[in-house]
Amino acid sequence: MTDPSPSSQRLLSLDFMRGCIMVLLALESTGLYEHLFDASKGNVLNGFFLEFFHHPWNGLRFWDLVQPSFMFMAGVAMALSLQKQQQQGMTWNQSFKKTLKRCFWLFFWGVLDYAVRGNHLSFELWDVLTQLSFTTLIAFLIFRWSAFWQICLCAGLLLVTEALYRFTHIPGFDHPFTDQQNFGNWVDLQLMNKINSGGWVAINCIPTAVHTIAGALVGKLLLSGKEKIKPMLLAGVLCLILGYGLDATGITPIIKRIATSSFTLVSLGWCLLELSICYWWIDIRSHRKGLQFFTIVGMNSIFIYLFFEIVGDRWFTAYAGTFSTVFLNYIQIPASLTLILTSLFVFSLEWLLCYFLYKKKIFFKL
């Protein structure tokens, strides 16, 4: 069976994957995973729900792959968008200005997301949108390079990250893979006069630019007439072998919070395998049943992310959840189940908002 031509029809696997990512993030914003984890203590499901939380340091859980997938999908979408711009006759300078504008707004909303802390303002650079503003610009600037030189740059970004952590030797921050004592923490101290208590660092945008660059390369591959599935599968397996190999041999541990090279490679490997399977199943085999639930959210991904992060987290979740909680308590539903159902109720309202926008053909883009 031949591959479909993405230039002539929408890449549904991309909408589906973006939708899955947004659904997972929206459910997390309602507190669902915490409620399920607490309710399952003492049984076998507890270990399963633990996968919906970031690993505390050296290791990998399912939830650690969500952000890389988000940034990888952004790269794929950028390739499709740039091809469309080219077909419309836009010059490189016009596309560059458009990309700069997008990166500005990504940075703006990423900073605004955590700008209010209690009763004071805060300047933080750890949000995924802030990181994406940097990685998108890098991916655009090298988009016309050959695949070979883009891969070389990706390797260079990982080597630079390794060198910064291993060889800077700043007093108090000279332990490359130790929480609160590494080079990334020192950079944050200079940029924001603070260190993230969870160990996240702003310079994660350097190694994770590899995710967006790789996504753009895959996007170009999907637009080409070349074989698609095998190259993605082979690249994915190679990244997994390299990443897990670095961790297993003790050379570089897998640490999502500082985006080590081993983590970047492993997460990229899983992203490539995920897209390979989705593209084969949805766009080649034409299995479309049940996709709309996710694609409706994926087609307004930036909007719904900002909604549940800014509006939902600070107002909507508590407001809507109060009505649900009062009603469920009235009919004497157990407390743990009440929390779970309240989270699902809040998510349902957010999904219906996306559905409303979808029906009205309103799609927010940066």
Average pLDDT, stretch 40-48? Answer: 93
Q: What is the DSSP string of 32-53?
A: HHHHHHHHTTTSTHHHHHHTTS
Q: Which residues fall within 8 angstroms of residue 8, CB to CB, at 6 or more apart?
A: none
Cα torsion through 198, 203, 207, 208, rounded to 10: 70
One-letter amino acid identity for 112?
A: L
266-280 exposure pattern, b = at least 16 Cβ within 10 A, e = fewer: bbbbbbbbbbbebbb
Mean pLDDT of the chain: 90
Residue of 318 and 185 predicted with greater confidence: 185
- The SS3 of residue 116 is strand
- Spell out the long-range contacts of 352-358 with Cβ–Cβ below 8 A and sequence spacing 24 or more: 353/304, 353/307, 354/296, 354/297, 354/300, 354/303, 354/304, 355/296, 357/300, 357/303, 358/296, 358/299, 358/300
Residue of 41 and 308 predicted with greater confidence: 41
C-alpha pair distances (Å), 275 with each of 16, 110, 232: 10, 26, 8
Please report how many Cα atoms fall inside a 13 Å half-sphere around the Cα of residue 336, on the Cβ side.
9
| pLDDT score of 275 | 96
- pLDDT tens digits, one per residue of 92-149: 999 999 999 999 999 999 998 888 776 778 899 999 999 999 999 999 999 999 999 9
C-alpha pair distances (Å), 333 with each of 14, 35, 336: 39, 15, 8
| pLDDT score of 2 | 45
Indicate whether 18 pLDDT > 60. Answer: yes
Indicate whether 317 pLDDT > 80. Answer: no
Indicate whether 41 pLDDT > 70. Answer: yes
C-alpha pair distances (Å), 173 with each of 164, 179, 182, 186, 195: 11, 10, 5, 6, 12
- pLDDT tens digits, one per residue of 209-252: 999 999 999 999 999 888 899 999 999 999 999 999 999 999 99
Token digits for 323?
A: 């009505």
Average pLDDT, stretch 32-59? Answer: 95
Token digits for 199?
A: 């160990």
Percent of the chain exceeding pLDDT 70 equals 93
How far apart CA 21 and CA 54 sit, in angstroms, is 15
Indicate whether 330 pLDDT > 80. Answer: no
Contact 180, 174 (CB under 8 A): no
Indicate whether 4 pLDDT > 60. Answer: no
Indicate whether 1 pLDDT > 60. Answer: no
Residue 8 binned pLDDT confidence (cut-offs 50, 70, 90): very low
Cα torsion through 137, 139, 142, 147, rounded to 10: 180
| pLDDT score of 246 | 98
pTM (predicted TM-score): 0.91
Residue of 308 and 153 predicted with greater confidence: 153
